[in-house]
């Protein structure tokens, strides 16, 4: 169930107004065609229909009013199907910009932009995995550096262990470099 019906108020308002004006044009076209059809019948000379035409005009005007209210509500609901997902996209993209890859964008299957949101979520998944790999490599490097420092502070230095640690550190650094090659930075 929706908790908030106004998202991206300026965008949602513009989108709703566009839809409303489109529906207004259609409504005016249909109502004017009905009204002119009745006037043509009146102009054929059957003037006793004049009262019927006036009553029909009032009836059509009332129905147009109800139709316009219905169209306004429909436009509002349709605009929300676009504005809601855009609001959620902006929220998650803001978190990504801050380095938080923990959340994906959640939208309903009936919302618009499903395909676009799916692509963003896949991008977040890739960034999350890359970030985990980098964190694990950095933690490993940190641990190896601590061990290396311990070896260097011992009275008897074991060169084989130091060389082995040096190779492991170089391997982790190379993995970090390989991970960064997947991203174009300039």
| Residue of 161, 159, 136, 134 whose CA lies nearest to 147 | 161
Res. 17: pLDDT tops 60: yes
- Quote the radius of gyration of the chain (alpha carbons, Å): 34
Q: Which residues contact 86 (CB under 8 A, 6 or more apart)?
A: 7, 8, 11, 113
With H, G, I as helix, E, B as strand and everything else as coil, classify residue 170: helix
According to the model, what pLDDT value does residue 13 have? 75
The fraction of the chain above a pLDDT of 90, given in percent, is 1
Task: State pLDDT tens for residues 25-48.
Answer: 877 877 777 777 767 766 766 555
Structure-model confidence comparison of residues 53 and 15, the more confident one? 15
Under 8 Å between Cβ of 108 and 82? no
Is residue 162 within 8 A of residue 145, CB to CB? The reply is no
Domain-by-domain residue ranges, the chain? 1-112, 128-186
Rounded CA separation 2/141 (Å): 47
Residue 12's Cβ-count burial label (10 Å; 0-12, 13-18, 19+) is: buried
* Structure confidence by residue, pLDDT tens digits, 163-183: 888 888 888 888 777 766 666
Count the neighbouring beta carbons within 10 Å of the beta carbon of residue 71. 19
The overall average pLDDT reported for the chain is 76
């Amino acid at each position: 169930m929706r908790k908030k019906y106004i998202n991206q108020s300026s965008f949602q308002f513009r989108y709703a107004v566009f839809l409303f004006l489109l529906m207004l044009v259609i409504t005016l076209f249909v109502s004017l065609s009905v009204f002119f059809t009745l006037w043509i019948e009146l102009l054929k000379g059957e003037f006793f229909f004049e009262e019927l035409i006036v009553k029909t005009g009032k009836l059509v005007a009332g129905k147009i009013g109800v139709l316009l209210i219905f169209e306004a509500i429909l436009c509002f609901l349709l605009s929300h199907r676009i504005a809601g997902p855009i609001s959620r996209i902006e929220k998650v993209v803001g978190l990504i910009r801050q380095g938080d890859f923990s959340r994906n964008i959640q939208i309903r299957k009936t919302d618009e932009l499903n395909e676009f949101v799916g692509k963003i979520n896949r991008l977040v998944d890739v960034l999350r995995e890359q970030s985990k790999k980098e964190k694990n490599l950095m933690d490993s490097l940190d641990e190896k550096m601590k061990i290396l420092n311990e070896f260097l502070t011992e009275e008897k230095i074991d060169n084989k262990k130091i060389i082995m640690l040096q190779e492991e550190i170089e391997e982790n650094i190379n993995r970090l470099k390989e991970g960064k090659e997947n991203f174009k930075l300039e």
